[in-house]
Amino acid sequence: MTANKVWFITGAGRGMGVDITKAALTSGFKVVATGRNTDKVAQAVGESEDLLIVTLDVTKPADAASAVNAAIDRFGRIDVLVNNAASFYAGYFEELTPEQMEHQLATSLIGPMNVTRAVLPVLRRQRSGLIISISSTAGLVGFEFGAAYAASKFGLEGWMQSLQAEIEPFGISTITVNPGFFRTELLTKESTHFAEQAIEDYNERRVQQLQFWEGYNGQQSGDPAKLAQALITIANQEKPPLRFIAGADAIGTAEQVVATLEQQLNAYRDLSTSLAHEDM
């Protein structure tokens, strides 16, 4: 069965999705590679008898249903879903429009939900499967200029943790992946969108933030091809981890989150534990 597993990957036309698709094909798996532009997906991942390329805009539930049906028609099953498609709306919260916030959530939170909702009936019938959702260190800690992105990733984290408890009885596993900075296309002009408004109080810091984000593309330390191979490795484990912190920088961030939480917990432990009813 391992050699016949079918991987269903969103956002396969660029960035990390390309590397995951190629790694899965190289490992001998069948792959359903999806994207909004199938020509771009085909150009990025090449040709293979084990490859099916399907149109999928993750913000459209009808696209998700059609893509899943196409996968079943071709391969008969789906074993691994990779929720990878994403975008990045950067800017100070006050300067981001409601529409920009909605677009961020639609792609990075509601999108994975749309695809997963379409795939779950297949996995339940099989009583097996794995759902991998690509989160971020922004799902562990918020950051200046990242309100929209962090909101979407924190939402993804809570949804995945709740989903895991709901579907585990059906033999379905989940992995939430928290990559640090990887040299993908997330910071390119095609994927990164900046706030449309400008509030004077933010001018000085906005200039610094824009310089950082526009200049950091191509400078990230992480190799997405190595991350793709790591996902193949953990997905093949009999009991995959519920979470995978990806990259040395991501481990550093996670350790700082743990340390900060512990410090805050201990600082007010006495006050916190004094809040019960007197008769308890």
| Residues paired with residue 172 on neighbouring β-strands, in sequence order | 129
Residue 137's identity, in one-letter code, is: T
What is the model's pLDDT at position 224?
87
DSSP SS3 for 83: strand
User: Which residues are catalytically annotated?
Assistant: 149
Look at the block and give the residue holding tokens 């962090």.
Answer: 150
| Residues paired with residue 173 on neighbouring β-strands, in sequence order | 130
Cβ-contact 222, 246 below 8 angstroms: yes
- The candidate with the shortest Cα–Cα distance to 130, out of 87, 86, 57, 77, is 77
Look at the block and give the residue holding tokens 């269903």.
Answer: 8
Block means of pLDDT (10 residues each) for the chain, length 280 residues?
A: 83 92 96 96 94 98 98 98 93 95 96 98 98 96 94 98 98 96 61 85 90 68 87 95 94 96 96 89
pLDDT tens profile 118-137: 999 999 999 999 999 999 99
Look up residue 154 and give its two tokens: 């924190």
Structure letter (DSSP) for residue 134: E
Task: Give how far Cα 108 sits from Cα of 27, 74, 94, 127, 257, Å.
Answer: 27, 27, 20, 27, 22
Distance of alpha carbon 103 from alpha carbon 108, whole angstroms: 9
What is the model's pLDDT at position 1?
43
Residue 206's identity, in one-letter code, is: R
What is the model's pLDDT at position 112?
98
What is the model's pLDDT at position 214?
75
- The candidate with the shortest Cα–Cα distance to 235, out of 28, 67, 53, is 28
What is the model's pLDDT at position 219?
57
pLDDT tens profile 9-56: 999 998 889 999 999 999 999 999 999 999 999 999 999 999 999 999
What is the model's pLDDT at position 120?
98
Which domains are assigned to the chain? 2-272 (3.40.50.720)
Distance of alpha carbon 58 from alpha carbon 80, whole angstroms: 17
What is the model's pLDDT at position 3?
60
